[in-house]
Amino acid sequence: MSELVLEPFRLPYMQRALAEVLLLGVLTGVAGVFVVLRRLAFMSDALTHTVFPGLVVAHLAGRSLALGALAFGVLTAVLFTLLAANRRVGSDAGMAIVLTALFSVGVVLVSRQHSYTSDLTLFLFGRVLTVDRADLVTTLVLAVLVLAVLAVLGKELVLRAFDPEGSTAMGYRGVVLDLVLNLLIALVVVAAVKAVGTVLVVAMLVVPAASARLLADRLAGMTILSCAFGVLGGWGGLLASYQLSVRGGLRLAAGATIVVVLVACFLAALAVAALRGRDGAQAAAP
């Protein structure tokens, strides 16, 4: 049994892939807590779409993909924060339009190349098995940066998530805090893009944290659980996709398999939470 589990990771490319998904699991686990508590799932999804043309432009210009993604990610994080202020159209509609428009820019640029369809696939779904050392370093740097900022600004961001009006009343500028968080999420998207592609990053941000929320009553517990689920999903998905491909002859995209494992964890958490009932027996004394 242990042979089954260990065998794939003797190969260098699998080792790199594993390192990448473990790192991402922790990063998206922590960031995901804020995404879920601040209800930012849509914005995260939107960011994955708007980062796509950045990838294309960088690819066409022969520059680092991370740089292209970063430029577009930062730009749209700012744009989305500002869009939230237009009440007439609603921030959701604005984001939906911006995300499809930018995505279309990417598609148009890609469509004029001969490598159209394979490029599209790479950007959308990533190829975690082709992660190299440079990619690992990029991910590590971004992870350290994001986690550091989240540690430092954590209490203010949690306050803003819990009681936006109260945080403003205490003197914190909501727009600034929102912008910082949105930028951090953009960085996480950039970090995860090469491995799992733009489409599946949302899963890594939302699913582990949502699972953790079902089981944890405190923020600290929720964060730890979220990381645990993220790491489990990454490792389990890689393992499953490798074994199924080698032994079962089923060629399944690694990134997608990771997401399936994460969703399975969520369903398990849902079942556990349902069995436990709501909140246990905390009787409120007057």
Binding to other proteins in span 50-109, by CB under 8 A: 80, 84-101, 103-105, 107-108
* Whole-angstrom distance, CA of residue 241 vs CA of residue 59: 27
- Can you tell me which of 155, 246, 272, 276 binds other proteins, judged by CB under 8 A? 155
In the list 14, 202, 227, 231, the residue contacting other proteins (rule: CB under 8 A) is 202
Span 20-49, contacts to other proteins by CB under 8 A: 35-45, 49
Cβ distance to other proteins smaller for residue 93 or 137: 93
Rounded to an integer, what distance in angstroms lies between the CA atom of residue 65 and that of residue 54?
Answer: 8
DSSP 1: -
- Return phi, psi of residue 11, to 5°: -80, 135
Q: Alpha-carbon distance 256 to 267, whole Å?
A: 17
> Among residues 10 and 251, whose Cβ is nearest to other proteins?
251
When asked if residue 16 is in the footprint of other proteins (CB under 8 A), the reply is: no
Question: Which of 9, 125 has the CB closer to other proteins?
Answer: 125
Does 140 bind other proteins (CB under 8 A)? Our answer is no
Choices 4-12, 23-31, 133-141, 160-168; region in contact with other proteins by CB under 8 A: 160-168
Residue 270: strand, helix, or coil = helix
For other proteins, give the closer residue by CB, 71 or 153: 153
d(CA 115, CA 227): 37
Among the candidate windows 23-31, 134-142, 208-216, 227-235, which touches other proteins by CB under 8 A? Answer: 208-216
Q: What residues from 213 to 232 belong to the interface with other proteins (CB under 8 A)? A: 213-214, 216-219, 221-222
C-alpha distance from residue 174 to each of 4, 61, 82, 88, 160 (Å): 50, 37, 12, 20, 7
CA distances from 143 to 24, 72, 128, 151, 160 (A): 8, 19, 17, 12, 23
Looking at the Cβ atoms of 134 and 174, the one nearer to other proteins is: 174
